Structure 1
Amino acid sequence: LKTIDMRRAPPARGGFLSPVLLGHMRQTLEKKEQSLLFLNRRGYAPLTLCRVCGHRFGCPVCSAWLVEHRFRGQLVCHHCGHNERRPEACPECGTLDHLVACGPGVERIAEEVVAHFPDARTIVLSSDLMGGVRRLRLELEAIANGEADIVIGTQLVAKGHNFPDMTLVGVVDADLGLANGDPRAAERTFQLLSQVTGRAGRTGKKSLGLLQTFQPDHPVMRAIVSGDAEAFYEREIAERERAVLPPFGRLAGVIVSAATRAEAEGHARGLRRAAPHAADLFVLGPAEAPLSLIGGRHRFRLLIQGERRADMQ
């Protein structure tokens, strides 16, 4: 396992795969072995905007951007399921042909792979592609039978599959799960990337895992590369103990949703006032939830933190 420092080996303009990763993919193709590119982001791009007026396509009933799914020609909300056709003109300023996709999803990575390796047999594995479970099963069989050269996938490929000819795994954005504000982010990133990179070399062939990252010195990256799960555990558990986070304390989130923002905030503040006073419990908030609107309902969140012995019920 190795990291690729994206500050020192950046991709070409408009691309997302570093020259280092592309070079190893080329070598793997020459050996007639398989490569896996992992990106835990469905669709083509997580945001579409207008280069003229800056309009961003958001969900009308959620506080989330619409994800472009270019294979289907749609913009989709991954929270409520709202979808609409991708327009040619900006709905705000009316300008034609100036909508730009920002950031990569697996479909966009597949497009880049085809541009670099037009003769390679490429398969995209994602839960939202046409054909559903039957298509997914057929494609997994094709990969296992050596009928694909390059596989691009989301967390569907992370566990439970044995691909005997797969000797290269490239994680397109190893930093993706680290910046979501969840106290379990480091643990989950370590588990997921360890599972993904474990897809290569399962039959004893010489293999390589590459992590594209802007933070090669991050403790999670160092732990994955070194394979020292024990050291990662000890560091993570020490940080949680200092912050009185689980398993040394208790942490719960309470989401209050309502048809209007004022109603949601009012109910949340009422809950805060009604909370029993206890020396070993702390109620934080309310504040707007990270996703403050889903399906037309406004959301506020209370966080309850307590000592390990505290009775949250």
Structure 2
Amino acid sequence: HNERRPEACPECGTLDHLVACGPGVERIAEEVVAHFPDARTIVLSSDLLGGVRRLRLELEAVANGEADIVIGTQLVAKGHNFPGMTLVGVVDADLGLANGDPRAAERTFQLLSQVTGRAGRTGKKSLGLLQTYQPDHPVMRAIVSGDSEAFYEREIAERERAGLPPFGRLAGIIVSAATRAEAESHARGLRRAAPQASDLFVLGPAEAPLSLIGGRHRFRLLVQGERRADMQGFIRAMLAEGPKLRGSVRVQVDIDPQSFL
């Protein structure tokens, strides 16, 4: 389901004033400065003005204790050591669970473990705060309890029940084109050309989560099957029987994909 953004505010009728306003690091920084005007605040993001050199300087400043509050993207979770940090807060901690990636729970658990692990590394008393709309989700319960073994046992059981890797096979087929109609038409043609098989089936096509990249519209099909299924042969036959590449259409095949975007 999708709806176009209205041109006027449905409440007051003002035109051209509805814009996306999410919890980005810049907006969070504005609110932090308003609440804690005397604190030394640093914003860490891969798209900082000044590029890699400035980012390196900011990271060194944090490590040296020259900041009271650090606001950052996932970047702050990756391999940095901030010895003075004793409090970590994560805004929209369950955001990563809301996509079609079969590894979403695993990736979110890994990321939250990393980012909350930034606090208290030197043995000081520390606290991690997670903002979530799903406090009973297995990922959130595992983070709070610290029971990673129970989480992974459950994740393995879920994957085995669903026939997902490593207990089954997956292949992603991305169809892209200069227009949405071209991409969708070709993807539907491939779906119709899929051979009959008892151990393999096709999901889609549907718009890819990143539906427009570099001016090209993208549709995705997902082939799922048993571990011993002839995935390559199935896709080879599907491509051979499907519509021929014309115009701006391109087809990309990804066996056992690591990304579902």
Q: Taking structure 1 as the reference length, what is the TM-score of the superposition?
A: 0.67
Kindly, what percent of the aligned residue pairs are identical? 95
1:84 & 1:108 partners in 2: Cα distance? 26
Higher relative contact order (CA 8 A, sep 6+): 1
More strand, by proportion: 1
2:43 & 2:84 partners in 1: Cα distance? 17
1:260 Cα deviation after fit: 2.6
Deviations 1:107-138 (A, max 9, x none): 11111110110000000000011011000000
Partner-residue secondary structure (3-state), 1:101 = coil
Residue number in structure 2 paired with 1:135: 54
2:59 & 2:212 partners in 1: Cα distance? 37
Instruction: Determine if contact 1:174/1:211 at 8 Å carries over to the other structure.
Output: yes
2:180 & 2:6 partners in 1: Cα distance? 31
1:101 Cα deviation after fit: 4.8
2:61 & 2:8 partners in 1: Cα distance? 39
1:159 Cα deviation after fit: 2.2
Instruction: Determine if contact 1:159/1:199 at 8 Å carries over to the other structure.
Output: no
1:89 Cα deviation after fit: 12
Residue number in structure 2 paired with 1:26: none
Indicate how the Cα distance of structure 1 residues 93 and 264 shifts in structure 2: closer, same or farther if over 3 A, else same. Answer: farther
1:298 Cα deviation after fit: 2.4
Instruction: Determine if contact 1:292/1:300 at 8 Å carries over to the other structure.
Output: yes
Greater displacement, 222-231 / 176-185 = 176-185
Indicate how the Cα distance of structure 1 residues 300 and 87 shifts in structure 2: closer, same or farther if over 3 A, else same. Answer: closer
Indicate how the Cα distance of structure 1 residues 179 and 132 shifts in structure 2: closer, same or farther if over 3 A, else same. Answer: same
1:175 Cα deviation after fit: 1.5
More helix, by proportion: 2
Alignment of 1:261-272 (within 5 A): 261-272=180-191
2:89 & 2:192 partners in 1: Cα distance? 50
1:295 Cα deviation after fit: 3.0
Deviations 1:197-254 (A, max 9, x none): 0001111111111111222111110101111111001111111111111111112211
1:115 & 1:104 partners in 2: Cα distance? 15
Indicate how the Cα distance of structure 1 residues 93 and 291 shifts in structure 2: closer, same or farther if over 3 A, else same. Answer: farther
The counterpart of 1:283, out of the listed 202, 209, 213, is 202
1:182 Cα deviation after fit: 1.7
Deviations 1:1-29 (A, max 9, x none): xxxxxxxxxxxxxxxxxxxxxxxxxxxxx
Deviations 1:18-45 (A, max 9, x none): xxxxxxxxxxxxxxxxxxxxxxxxxxxx
Partner-residue secondary structure (3-state), 2:205 = strand
Greater displacement, 84-93 / 116-125 = 84-93
CA-based RMSD of the aligned residues comes to 4.2
Partner-residue secondary structure (3-state), 1:293 = strand
1:83 Cα deviation after fit: 23
Indicate how the Cα distance of structure 1 residues 211 and 91 shifts in structure 2: closer, same or farther if over 3 A, else same. Answer: closer
Partner-residue secondary structure (3-state), 1:186 = helix
Instruction: Determine if contact 1:284/1:302 at 8 Å carries over to the other structure.
Output: yes
Indicate how the Cα distance of structure 1 residues 264 and 131 shifts in structure 2: closer, same or farther if over 3 A, else same. Answer: same
Indicate how the Cα distance of structure 1 residues 303 and 96 shifts in structure 2: closer, same or farther if over 3 A, else same. Answer: closer
Partner-residue secondary structure (3-state), 1:216 = coil
Indicate how the Cα distance of structure 1 residues 160 and 243 shifts in structure 2: closer, same or farther if over 3 A, else same. Answer: same
1:261 Cα deviation after fit: 2.9
Partner-residue secondary structure (3-state), 2:119 = coil
Q: Taking structure 2 as the reference length, what is the TM-score of the superposition?
A: 0.79
Number of equivalenced pairs: 232
Indicate how the Cα distance of structure 1 residues 139 and 91 shifts in structure 2: closer, same or farther if over 3 A, else same. Answer: farther
Gaps of 5+ in 1: 1-81
Indicate how the Cα distance of structure 1 residues 105 and 222 shifts in structure 2: closer, same or farther if over 3 A, else same. Answer: same
